[in-house]
Structure 1
Amino acid sequence: MPTISMFYGIIIRMYCAPKEHNPPHIHVYYQDDKAIIDINTIELIDGKLPKNKLRLVLAWAELRHEELLADWKLAQNGELPFQIEPLK
């Protein structure tokens, strides 16, 4: 599962497997915490993150929504997603 972005100790990854289960989502890792964020709704759908880190991830996902959807389409075709600019 390639890393598509990293910022403030947060790692964002996306599976690259044809027919990966819907909804479109990203996997987020911060220290020992893991979460899954729905790309369409920009909401936490599984796991947990510290509240301040979750806010950062959701803000980043909102800003990068179109890029995340484009990466999801690539991943669905078994292609590697592009790196996405981190939150600064």
Structure 2
Amino acid sequence: MPTIKIIDFIKNDIYSREHPPPHFHALFAESEELIEIESLQTYIGQIPKPQRKKVVDWARDNQDHLLGIFKQLNPR
């Protein structure tokens, strides 16, 4: 489970052996949100809005990179 990026204490991970759609896990304190890489919409869960905005802003600029990592860890 590689940590892709830590943004102000928000850990962003992509796991291997995951289910579609391609997504990453944003973890902050006791909260976790799965965010779809292509749409940047919430798949499940919730982190606080200020932290989610930081994560989505970063992810928007790195969508191709995130999708590449997801596909590398989850070849099908």
- Residue 32 of structure 1 corresponds to 30
Amino acid at match of 1:15: Y
CA distance in 1, matches of 2:2, 2:33: 16
Please identify the structure whose Cα radius of gyration is greater.
Answer: 1
Which string of whole-angstrom CA distances, capped at 9 and with x for unpartnered residues, describes residues 14-69 of structure 1? 1122xx21000001100111110000101111111111001111111100001001
Q: What is residue 48 of structure 1 aligned with on the other side? A: 46
Which structure has the higher relative contact order (CA within 8 Å, separation 6+)? 1
- Which consecutive aligned stretches of 4+ in structure 1 deviate over 4 angstroms post-superposition? none
CA distance, structure 2, for counterparts of residue 25 and residue 50 of structure 1:
18
Q: CA RMSD in A?
A: 0.9
Where structure 2 has 5 or more consecutive residues not aligned to the other structure, the ranges are none
Q: What's the CA shift for 1:2? A: 1.7
5+ unaligned residues in a row in structure 1: which ranges?
78-88
2:27 counterpart of 1:2: no
CA distance in 1, matches of 2:52, 2:42: 8
Size of the alignment, in residue pairs? Answer: 75
1:7 Cα deviation (Å)?
Answer: 1.3
What amino acid maps onto 1:38 in structure 2? E
TM-score, normalization by structure 1: 0.80
